[in-house]
Amino acid sequence: MFANLKPLPTDPILGLMAKYRQDTNPNKIDLGVGVYKTEEGDTPILSCVKKAEKFRLENETSKSYIGLAGDLGFCAKMESLLLGEHPALLANRVRTAQAPGGTGALRVAAEFIAKANPQASVWVTTPTWANHIGLFSAAGLTVKEYPYYDYENKGLLFDEMMATLKTVPKGDIVLLHACCHNPSGMDLNAEQWQQVADLAKEVGFTPLVDIAYQGFGTSLEDDSAGLRLLAATVDEMIICSSCSKNFGLYRERIGACSIISESSAVADIANSVLLSVVRSIYSMPPAHGATIVDTILGSEELTAEWHQELAEMRNRINGLRSTIVEALHSRGVAQDFSFIEKQHGMFSFLSITPEQIERLQKEYSIYIVGSSRVNVAGVSKANINYFADAVATVIK
């Protein structure tokens, strides 16, 4: 049987990571992998996480399964983190299942959609996180795209986006990035979120909000504002969240899939389907990451420390955006990179050609994915001049 298998191409980002590891250039820079990095190039364990882990080590009393929905304390606290004191929560219309990372949450959502409406198409932004398409396709769903990023003007194709969404059939799913759009960094503003929410109610499509970077954009509250507005406007929606970035828990694979229904009774039915999906994929989620988040959000002291550490990461990223723009401008580069400062989160398109990207890799050991998406957090005070000199050279 295995002899009939055909090799599949390596994920571009994973392939780039392998090349970077093999590169012996001491000046090499990895701007491909999507993880936060400090000035020293490390992906740190947050101090609040260390304290929560210590507490868990000293107080855990069992290694038994934690149930299909996962850690219920974690689930409740994630609902509050995402929605605040939202009417949907007060009306008991929200159900949440812990998932193995944001990716796991999306796959659970995909299988849930396939059970609720197997004929539904899932509409994603052009461009979107590359794995979105694979996750929904693997569940047997049709994936379609709607206009989003304006490559030419480095902004949003909002009018074109709205025109396309007006044609989405009732019952289809529209995936929206809550904040820090991956890969463009371009987000909807409050007025645009309201227009999307009103259109969703009018047309009848179901929003699916992917929120993987809450707190990395402007603030925890601002980054969830669009999500909350949607939840206040439509009767049903799906939220897929991740704790990989804002808690630094990448390898713990901790996320959640939340379903908002039109009533508490319908929410109970939806929850039974949601948990049946969980059962058929991985049965029970792991406990460690959820317990860490539950412990942090359950402690005023640790929550305050987390807010401070999260702000430090966010401020560093936003500062780097300005640093990159200033460094390239100071080298007399004709191309205008000021758009980088207007974006949010770790990612931005440099909008350079494939040939220029190849030169950066071959001549300077600067690793960028083929779309020209860069992880801003991979830049530092130590390498900014090397990076800016290299970019200026290849685009002149």
Q: What is the DSSP letter of 10?
A: P
Among 28, 37, 51, 129, the one annotated catalytic: 129
Q: Give CA–CA dist 136/203, Å, rounded.
A: 22
Tokens for 377, please give them.
């957090």
C-alpha to C-alpha distance for 375 and 30, rounded to whole angstroms: 8
Q: Whats the size of the chain, residue-wise?
A: 396
Residue 387: closest CA among 319, 338, 340, 331: 331
Locate all alpha helices (DSSP H) within the chain, ordered by sequence. 12-22, 47-59, 72-83, 87-90, 101-116, 130-138, 158-165, 190-203, 220-223, 225-233, 264-281, 288-297, 300-330, 354-364, 384-395
Active-site residue identified among 210, 223, 294, 306: 210
Tokens of 138: 């693997």
- Please give the structure tokens belonging to residue 192: 């645009």
Among this protein's residues, is 245 annotated catalytic? yes
Which residues make beta-bridge pairs with 208? 175, 238
| Region for 181 from its dihedrals, namely left if φ exceeds 0, alpha if ψ lies in -120 to 50, beta otherwise | beta
> Which pair of tokens denotes residue 126?
């052009």
Q: Are 156 and 148 in contact (CB under 8 A)?
A: yes
Q: Is residue 124 exposed (0-12), middle (13-18) or buried (19+ Cβ within 10 Å)?
A: buried
Has 129 been annotated as catalytic?
Answer: yes
330-to-8, 84, 333 alpha-carbon distances in Å: 44, 43, 8
* 210 among known catalytic residues: yes
Dist. CA 184–CA 347, nearest whole Å: 6
Structure tokens at 352: 């350079």
Percentages helix, strand, coil for the chain (3-state, rounded to 5) are 50, 15, 35
- From the list 51, 187, 245, 306, the catalytic residue is 245
3 state DSSP class of 70? coil
Which are the catalytic amino acids? 129, 210, 245
